[in-house]
Structure 1
Amino acid sequence: MADASEPAPRSDTKGIVDAAGLFARARFRRHLAAPALRPYVEQYWLIDWDLPQPYASHVVPHPSVNVVFQTLPGQEPFAEVAGIGLDLFTQKLEGRGRVCGVKFRPGGFRPFAPEHPVSAWTGRRMLPLEEVFAEVPDGALDAVLTPDDEQARVAALDAFLLAIGPTPDPQADLATALAERIGTDRGIRRVSEFARAEGMTVRTLQRLFSAYVGVGPKWLILRHRIHEALERAETDAEVDWADLAATLGYADQAHLVRDFTTTVGVPPTAYAPH
């Protein structure tokens, strides 16, 4: 029997466009990292699919760096570092494939790659592991992707990360704590007020986030709003968008509609998963 005190990975669908459609076509699971890695890693995510017809998945990216190991049809297995995505991410799933990903906490990636600010990777994908990490363990690709047993894949991800780092960094810990606060406290609506409450100048806060998170605090506030609005659209056919806009801290419904449309590609009232 599982220990009731053991934390569990997230179970929400925030960021996933048409989550029901994705889950109907692919096996999507989340796992926690080893305890020593949890201050830095939010979760591992595993996807396997075997599809007779292609399917395009769409994700509104989180403020997280990901390391992704992939086996795709017609390609050699590969691994990449994906910085924080600024735009809607689309991935075509076809044939048979497997992906094993590491989703770092905002602020949690820098201790594994301390040579560069995290903003150096923002908006970039397909970064070879050797370009980002000082040393890459031999055999990591096969160890992660080959096992059919997913616990073996999780163990391989743990071994991969523990071989690389992390390098303790109090500034990374601070950035992670501040980003977590933004992600959980809907009362945080202005960067200037947040910085003042934390005893920092806006400029100091922005520099910290650039170096350790990869995007600014204002971007985080806005992205969390869109994630929440998207999840409401996924789960509630009768969303009161004016009320939701007020709850999320928008001046009016029009501002929410504009941000949602720009990020997701359709206005919220026209959004209908299929």
Structure 2
Amino acid sequence: MATPRRDTRGVRQDTQGIVDAADLLAHVDFRRHAPAEPLRPYVEQYWLIDWDLPEPYVSHVVPHPAVNIVFQHFTGERPFAEVAGVQLDLFAQKLEGRGRVCGIKFRPGGFRPFAPDRPVTDWTGRRIRQPEVYAATDPATVLTPDDEEARIAALDAFLLHHRPRPDPQADLAMTLVDRIHTDRTIRRVTDFARAEGISVRLLQRLFAAYVGVGPKWIILRYRIHEALERAETDPEVDWAALAADLGYADQAHLVRDFTATVGVPPTTYAQALTPASTSRA
């Protein structure tokens, strides 16, 4: 895997949300990079993937509460860009032949300043190719350069051209989602809203307009991300203890949510992992 040459401070290096991350990393070359300094309040990271596969491969991701802009080039297709709103269900992507992806992952709440005329719920559950707001951008300018630094610079230039508008509500949404992500004691929307001095209704309206999903969905999704990561790094997971740590009433509720999100119960998932997954613990 290529060693990043750009400053990556502040870029998350975990594999939260990736189903069987070790298997994915065995099939593709996956890297993360930090954006230019002026973009960091809005953009969590750039993510780059290249592949050259003898056989088709399907990746699966439990989505984050984040909007992505993705520049893509698949074998036999013209390069294209799309806005991928927050996906509500397990996301599958088939990869085959050779290809390249350059993605922009916005912080939850960070996309709205780049598309201020529409609530973020307008993008939720959708993948829109070359939407009118970005139609003037040629995806090849991002995807064509073989030099990785040139691709990152093209992503910076693209976003800086669409200069974000300062928005205190976006800042508030980003702060609140960060708090949910890092504070495992946040388990109920009503308690969270009360602690923040906001009514539940106003909190839900803020998240609809700026994040694309509600706070209850986000609390649940981060629980599942943590359960996935624990399964991949700890071959002896105590699921009852983990359920308690994540704020579930009992193990059965964790099993229900995990199964509904990932498609299999957590014990089945852990047993089926690629052997390299748990060797990273």
TM-score (norm 2): 0.92
Task: Note the C-alpha offset of 1:22.
Answer: 0.7
Contact 1:62 1:223 in 2 (8 A): yes
Task: Note the C-alpha offset of 1:142.
Answer: 1.6
Give the one of 8, 11, 19 matched to 1:9: 11
Give the one of 191, 194, 198 matched to 1:193: 191
Change over 3 Å in CA distance of 1:231–1:6 after alignment to 2: closer
Segments of structure 2 that go 5 or more residues without pairing to the other structure are: 275-281
**2:252 pairs with 1:259:** no
Once the two structures are superposed, what CA deviation does each residue of 1:150-193 show, in whole Å capped at 9, x if it has no partner? 11111100000010120110000000100110011101011111
Change over 3 Å in CA distance of 1:48–1:6 after alignment to 2: closer
Task: Note the C-alpha offset of 1:236.
Answer: 1.2
Give SS of 1:259's match: helix
Structure 1 partner of 2:51: 49
Give SS of 1:126's match: strand
Once the two structures are superposed, what CA deviation does each residue of 1:13-37 show, in whole Å capped at 9, x if it has no partner? 1000010011011000000011100
Structure 2 partner of 1:211: 209
Structure 2 partner of 1:273: 273
Contact 2:43 2:105 in 1 (8 A): yes
Q: Which amino acid aligns with 1:79?
A: A
Task: Note the C-alpha offset of 1:53.
Answer: 1.0
For 2:8 and 2:111, the matched residues in 1 are separated by 24
Structure 2 partner of 1:242: 240
Give SS of 1:71's match: strand
Structure 2 partner of 1:87: 89
Task: Note the C-alpha offset of 1:241.
Answer: 0.2
For 2:63 and 2:39, the matched residues in 1 are separated by 22
Alignment of structure 1 residues 1-274 onto 2, 5 Å: 7-130=9-132, 133=133, 136-139=135-138, 141-271=139-269, 272-274=272-274
For 1:183 and 1:51, the matched residues in 2 are separated by 35
For 1:146 and 1:273, the matched residues in 2 are separated by 35
Q: Which amino acid aligns with 2:24?
A: L
Contact 1:110 1:172 in 2 (8 A): yes
For 2:34 and 2:234, the matched residues in 1 are separated by 28
For 1:47 and 1:138, the matched residues in 2 are separated by 20
Contact 2:120 2:209 in 1 (8 A): yes
Once the two structures are superposed, what CA deviation does each residue of 1:197-233 show, in whole Å capped at 9, x if it has no partner? 1111000000000000000001000000000000111
Task: Note the C-alpha offset of 1:260.
Answer: 0.3
Contact 1:137 1:160 in 2 (8 A): no
Change over 3 Å in CA distance of 1:6–1:22 after alignment to 2: closer
Contact 2:8 2:33 in 1 (8 A): no
When structure 1 is superposed on structure 2, of 7-16 and 40-49 the one drifting more is 7-16
Give SS of 1:17's match: coil
Contact 2:8 2:34 in 1 (8 A): no
For 1:168 and 1:184, the matched residues in 2 are separated by 25
Give SS of 1:100's match: strand
For 1:138 and 1:266, the matched residues in 2 are separated by 40
Task: Note the C-alpha offset of 1:108.
Answer: 0.2
Aligned residues: CA RMSD = 1.5
For 1:211 and 1:265, the matched residues in 2 are separated by 29
TM-score (norm 1): 0.95
For 2:108 and 2:258, the matched residues in 1 are separated by 22
